[in-house]
Amino acid sequence: MNAGPPLELETLFGEYPLDQAFDEMREPGGEVRAHYRALAETLAGLPHEELQRRKQSADLSFLTQGITFTVYGRDEGTERIFPYDLLPRLITAQEWTRIERGLTQRITALNLFLRDVYSEAKILNDRVIPSELVYSCKHYRRQMRGLQVPRNIYIAVVGSDLLRLNSGEFVVLEDNLRVPSGVSYMLTNRRVMKRTFPEVFSSYGVRPIELYPQLLLSTLRSLAPEGRSEPNIVLLTPGVFNSAYFEHTYLARQMGIDLVEGRDLVTHDNIVYMRTTDGLKRVDVIYRRVDDDFSDPLVFRADSSLGCAGLFNAYRAGNVTVTNAFGTGLADDKAVYAYVPQMIKYYLDEEPVLSNVETYLLGDVKQRQHVLANLDKLVVKAVGESGGYGMLIGPHSTAKQREEFARAIEANPRNYIAQPTLDFSRAPCLIGNQLEPRHVDLRPYILFGDKVNIVPGGLTRVALEKGSLVVNSSQGGGSKDTWVLE
């Protein structure tokens, strides 16, 4: 078929395995894909020591910048650097155009769905989506019924997870419509990358992403309550113990807005104020990085002190914009996810550009039986969880784990879905002195204010452990810079 890679590339690749999984860098025959060639040649031309030196300098830069995240459920030092792979993941302009079109379509439909469900619920009355599925979702918020949301935008900030299948096609694995995180890693990865491989970067013509904070700010501003021409915009964080705290501070600083905690806010007469050294100051827009449950103890969980009592009423009165809106988790419920293609058809009368992953709904008796019989081949997920928690990966599970899940599914089938174990794409990572393929996904960040805006690229997450399929940072995943080529 071909002569294989040249000699110096061969040493770099070493025992690099290729199988049916799509390899981002190499053709099935081993040849380096055209758009990866310049990168591969640069790498092959660098002495090992130089490659290691660049890696160390990148690592050090992350540590001193304090780019860390917190891992729950571990005793040893809760703060860790986010592991970072030195090699960028490349996406061609053509691939990106399709992703961008697909995500715009998808987010538009999801937003229409939320608006519909929280007002007339046409899609349920027309029986396109079963109402029991929606009303039994634990993220459905009855309090949102009939509430007028500024500009009808429920999901202003979104991060959707894409995978690339063996065929090379990108599919959507899930949508994060509540408080998606990771965008700060996308931005800092790029900064470090530009310093680590300046020559390669400039030779490639990579589309810039640095304007994200500014786009986010103007998105937030566009959602301010009527008549507030100079809105006071703040970012609400659960505080320093939250795993994404670094990101909250980073975004607040990059946008030049105040980072507030629940204890900084007070409400009076349905107006939200923050406590400043100059007395109370009115707040107009809240970019909320606190989950629904913890946002307002008067409306949601009463035992939470992370939010602000009275916030929801002020929101309902239209005196403050909170984004994303409450109750958006309904649309990223993993069982509701299965119906996104139908939503796109229903609201937009279009065919989905990006497909879903095949999903079994366990509320259905037939599907449930099939899943229970094939637990060792499937991935089972709890519908309302994120971050890789509450998941069973069939082929990597023990009989005991499968039994536990089977029992949990029987007890509450609505709470689980199953998907085939996906053979998703792998990209080369620098492991020691050689390149080895690791599974990667892609999380682009979508902003929705006046219109849908997607910065080209996103966060490529890597399952750094050999053979692992879990890319979540909470489960030992790392990240890569993502270059969308001109």
Q: Is the Cβ–Cβ distance between 152 and 168 less than 8 Å?
A: no
- Is 230 a residue that touches another protein (CB under 8 A)? no
Residue selected from 81, 121, 266, 298 as contacting another protein according to rule CB under 8 A: 266
**Residue 274: CB minimum distance to another protein, A:** 6
- Is 86 a residue that touches another protein (CB under 8 A)? no
Measured from the CB atom, is 64 or 148 closer to another protein? 64
Q: Is the Cβ–Cβ distance between 162 and 89 less than 8 Å?
A: no
Measured from the CB atom, is 260 or 322 closer to another protein? 260
Residue 49 Cα distances to 10, 210, 224, 432, 436, angstroms: 18, 31, 53, 11, 18
**Residue 246: CB minimum distance to another protein, A:** 7
Can you read off the two tokens belonging to residue 141? Answer: 């918020």
Residue selected from 48, 263, 282, 377 as contacting another protein according to rule CB under 8 A: 263
List 142's β-bridge partners, or say none: none
Residue selected from 119, 249, 367, 434 as contacting another protein according to rule CB under 8 A: 249
Residue selected from 13, 250, 312, 483 as contacting another protein according to rule CB under 8 A: 250
Distance CA 170, CA 451 (A): 23
DSSP single-letter state for residue 422: P
**Residue 255: CB minimum distance to another protein, A:** 9
Binding residues with another protein: total (CB under 8 A): 27
Helix axes 183-196, 245-255, angle to 10 degrees: 80
Name the one range near another protein by CB under 8 A: 267-275, 333-341, 346-354, 422-430: 267-275
Can you read off the two tokens belonging to residue 362? Answer: 């366990």
Distance CA 12, CA 9 (A): 5
List 355's β-bridge partners, or say none: 171
Distance CA 92, CA 99 (A): 11
- Is 211 a residue that touches another protein (CB under 8 A)? no
- Is 264 a residue that touches another protein (CB under 8 A)? yes
The amino acid sitting at 56 is Q
Residue selected from 278, 365, 400, 432 as contacting another protein according to rule CB under 8 A: 278
**Residue 59: CB minimum distance to another protein, A:** 13
Name the one range near another protein by CB under 8 A: 40-48, 260-268, 324-332, 428-436: 260-268
Name the one range near another protein by CB under 8 A: 114-122, 220-228, 264-272, 344-352: 264-272
DSSP single-letter state for residue 358: P
Beta strands in 182-242 (DSSP E): 233-237
Residue selected from 95, 258, 436, 465 as contacting another protein according to rule CB under 8 A: 258
**Residue 268: CB minimum distance to another protein, A:** 6
Q: Please, which of residues 26-85 interact with another protein by CB under 8 A? A: 63-66
Distance CA 154, CA 326 (A): 8
Cα 288-336-129 angle, rounded to 5 deg:
125
Q: Is the Cβ–Cβ distance between 423 and 21 less than 8 Å?
A: yes
- Is 259 a residue that touches another protein (CB under 8 A)? yes
- Is 280 a residue that touches another protein (CB under 8 A)? yes
Longest dimension (CA), the chain: 75
Q: Please, which of residues 369-408 interact with another protein by CB under 8 A? A: none
Measured from the CB atom, is 15 or 278 closer to another protein? 278
Strand 89-91 relative to strand 416-420, pairing = unpaired
Q: Is the Cβ–Cβ distance between 113 and 347 less than 8 Å?
A: yes
Name the one range near another protein by CB under 8 A: 2-10, 37-45, 254-262, 351-359: 254-262
* Positions that interact with another protein (CB under 8 A): 63-66, 239-240, 245-246, 249-250, 252-253, 258-261, 263-264, 266, 268, 274-280
